[in-house]
Chain A
């Protein structure tokens, strides 16, 4: 009987994060590959995808993905675990980012900033966002479902207005201001102890800034993912799941609904705040318009495409959504090369893509093109809007659901169930 899947002999076994030995080995190997991915190493490079993602230009996309992952994990606790719909996740990211810039940013005549080190502003970004989440909770906890979605959507617009009013914090108009870099200092000394934002020499190797940032973000993401997975196993997580499944029943069983919903808001905002601060610091400068509704919708899309309520689903979803932006661009580039070439399908691609002015086709590569041929960046948004629709229609469990189906097929083979 030993070693059979799904056979648990103690409660402790069943509640483990990684229950089988295969899973434990797999996760360790996966982490090793992730850590070594950006470096030029003989064995790692042979794994498909890794060479491609470890490339310096793609590493920037991967870094962005890791940050989005942290934020999406937060929304997952609110939406996936506690069942509360939020369209205001981008707002909380903005709160975190502006806390970071207020605490860590430079102080000039027109801008406020205290110049504090990262180990202070990063947790503070999360804490302040969580505090704002608790402040909003009284209005949000009273309503459910779509009313809640609309309330949180209102937050986004209020936040956008506030960031335009307080130019001392947000910086001038559409430009924004410079965020503190990802540098580790003990206090305000000149040379940082560890500098993640510049290339350097670690141990015996030269290391680029993207690789450094990647390692930092990977560490944080693993930390936050573990925390998120563990929250689901605690008393709080079970209370949240009870509220998601049937809130009235949960209350009758003695789960104080308002309290736990507030906790869910606070945790999710904490994740969002940290992610917002990291994102702004990595990019360096951001206009207030960045923290708009589309950002929030993106996180809902990540959850839905990946699969709600599961940490692994969030990882799939983030990978898919963040990558899709670049992939669409690459595909359009590839297709336009095909259209100009001599291949069998050249005519087909030529029909789809307008290479030069006046050419027939509904997609164009030139960003300056106005009107009808859609620029590739717009196409990307259209595709991802339609993806949300397609996933909701055909695979409500998302990529995680597809994985479950594949797994069950092999598990049950040759029987269909």
Chain B
């Protein structure tokens, strides 16, 4: 235990604050992605494995809209920040349309089919979309034009990136909107569909429309998460990159830990996994020799396996009632 005092010596308050913001930001990204998974799962009873590929498509849309076409900027005067946010919303809308097309072509026909068939369809889509999108994105590095770029600010001695703050704020907004939405008429219809598709149909709920809404929202959320995770302090440093596609798979443990069908679970699970990963990365770095370089990226999966042994359906997930 000789290394333990050394660890405490390293962990000043500043390091802690810095790590805390880093963890909050990563947790927010995971929560955002997890929310996309949960919304689609709630409505269609399936996990959308194509979420990562759709996220990649979203970053590609933003790069085209903002950098290549300069869309709000060519007509609007004013600050760059506003332009970028408008472009972000446009990219999310474009991705939502993309999600709608997928839903209409491949998912709508599968209402009432086995859950696994639908999940496999999304896996097939993942392969196809990712290859096309990553060929377009990562072989010719694209810039997202994030206005705050690599700028940071200081709390005491702790350096915090503006991208972290933006990700946290964006996630807070998204969760607020979702929370309000689930209380509306459509939101209740979505919950009814989640409970039992056939019963919902019998009650006059337009299940197809619910599917469409969930997929559009899920795709938009994926795009947003993909864009924020391609910002500077994260893997790809300001360029839209292939990382986004695999980043989504790292959010799956968050969904499992929180529970596949719980919005609160997505938030809690995302933050929990984010904190585990970043704090393990910061405070266990003395053991890299044993754990190997990049061990923190595996932490989510290990946490997931342990969590499953304790609570098989997640912290907030509905436990399946098994009847014969």
Asked whether any CB of chain B lies closer than 8 Å to the CB of A185, the reply is no
| Chain B residue at smallest Cβ distance from A294 | B127
Q: What's the A-B contact tally at a CB cutoff of 8 Å?
A: 140
B-facing residues in A65-100 (Cβ within 8 Å) = 85, 87
Are B323 and A248 in touch, CB under 8 angstroms? yes
Closest A-B pairs by Cβ, 5 of them: A388-B124, A385-B127, A165-B292, A385-B128, A154-B301
Please judge, given known A-B contacts A85-B116, A150-B256, whether A161 and B128 are in contact too, CB under 8 Å.
no
Nearest CB of A to B311, in Å: 10
B residues with CB within 8 A of A? 46-47, 106, 109-110, 113, 115-121, 123-129, 131-132, 135-136, 139-140, 249-250, 252-253, 255-256, 260, 291-295, 297-298, 301-302, 304-305, 308-309, 312-313, 320, 322-324
* Among A157, A378, A385, contact of B249 (Cβ-Cβ < 8 Å): A157
Q: Is A46 an interface residue (CB 8 A)?
A: no
Which A residues are CB-close (under 8 A) to B313? 143, 147
CB distance from A170 to the nearest CB of B (A): 11
Q: CB < 8 Å: which of B110, B123, B295 contacts A388?
A: B123
Known: A252-B324, A370-B139. A161 touches B256 (CB 8 A): no
A276 to B109: give the CA distance in the assembly, Å.
Answer: 37
Report the stretch among A278-286, A297-305, A331-339 that lies at the interface.
A297-305
Q: How far is the CA of A151 from the CA of B110 in the complex (A)?
A: 24
Q: 19 additional contacts, CB 8 Å, given A157-B297, A157-B301?
A: A138-B309, A142-B308, A144-B320, A150-B252, A151-B256, A153-B252, A154-B253, A154-B301, A157-B249, A158-B298, A248-B322, A297-B126, A297-B127, A304-B120, A372-B135, A372-B136, A381-B128, A382-B131, A385-B126
Is the pair A371, B139 in contact by a Cβ cutoff of 8 Å? yes
Is residue A145 contacting chain B, with contact meaning CB distance below 8 A?
Answer: yes
A114-122, A214-222, A235-243, A389-397: which lies at the B interface?
A389-397
* CA of A240 to CA of B295, assembled, Å: 37
Residues of chain B contacted by A300 (CB below 8 angstroms): 120, 123
Cβ-defined contact, A158 with B302, below 8 A: yes
Which of B128, B136, B304 interacts with A382 by CB under 8 Å? Answer: B128
Within 8 A of B (CB), among A237-255: 246-249, 252
Please report A residues at the B interface, Cβ cutoff 8 Å.
85, 87, 138-139, 142-147, 149-151, 153-155, 157-158, 161-162, 164-165, 246-249, 252, 293-294, 297, 300-301, 304, 370-372, 374-375, 378, 381-382, 384-389, 392-393, 396
Chain B residues contacting A371 (CB-CB under 8 Å) are 135-136, 139-140
Alpha-carbon distance between A294 and B131 when the two chains are bound, in angstroms: 11
Give the chain B neighbours of A151 by CB distance below 8 A.
256, 304-305, 308
Q: Is the CB of B128 within 8 A of A164?
A: no
Chain B residues near A301: list those with CB within 8 A: 124
Chain B residue at minimum C-beta to C-beta distance from A389: B124
Chain A residues with CB below 8 A from B113, complex form? 396
Question: Which residues of chain A are within 8 angstroms of B322 by Cβ–Cβ distance?
Answer: 247-248
Q: B223 CB to closest chain A CB, in angstroms?
A: 20
8 pairs, CB–CB < 8 Å, chain A vs chain B: A150-B304, A246-B324, A249-B324, A370-B139, A372-B135, A378-B132, A378-B135, A389-B125
In the complex, what distance in Å separates the CA atom of A294 from the CA atom of B245?
13
Cross-chain contact B121 with A393 (CB below 8 angstroms): yes
Evaluate contact between A388 and B323: CB separation under 8 angstroms: no
